[in-house]
Amino acid sequence: MIPSSYYLILSAVLFTIGVIGVLVRRNAIVVFMCIEMMLNAVNLTFITFSRYLNSLDGQIFVFLVMTVAAATRST
């Protein structure tokens, strides 16, 4: 099995790219896209811990994060 740190580092890199995008870009739509990317990076962390701790709570959290993201997008 792949060490969990690989996934966590990948997630951190994606989150960092999202942060850079939010800070550097001025286009409002692109900033929203970068925020979605950051949410996804956090989701990856949740799923990783859910897998490596043999628990389903992380996946439920991701499900709720997706719901909230969809709700914020629709308004």
Partner 1 sequence: MELALFVILAVIAVIAAAGVVLSKKAATSALFLLLNFCTLAGLYILLNAQFIAVAQVIIYAGAIVVLFLFVVMLLSPGKEEGKDRTPYAKIFAVFLAVLMLVEVGYVVFTGVLGGTSGQYTPEKMAEVGNVQAIGQVLFTDFLLPFELASVLLLVGIVGAVVLAKREL
Least Å distance, CB 38 to partner 1, is 10
Residue 69 sits in the site that holds partner 1 (CB under 8 A) = yes
Residue 42 sits in the site that holds partner 1 (CB under 8 A) = no
Rounded distance, CA 21 to CA 14, Å? 11
CA distances for 34 relative to 15, 40, 54, angstroms: 9, 10, 30
Chain residues that interact with partner 1, rule: CB under 8 A: 1-2, 4-10, 12-21, 23-30, 32-34, 36-37, 40, 43-44, 47-57, 59-60, 62-64, 66-75
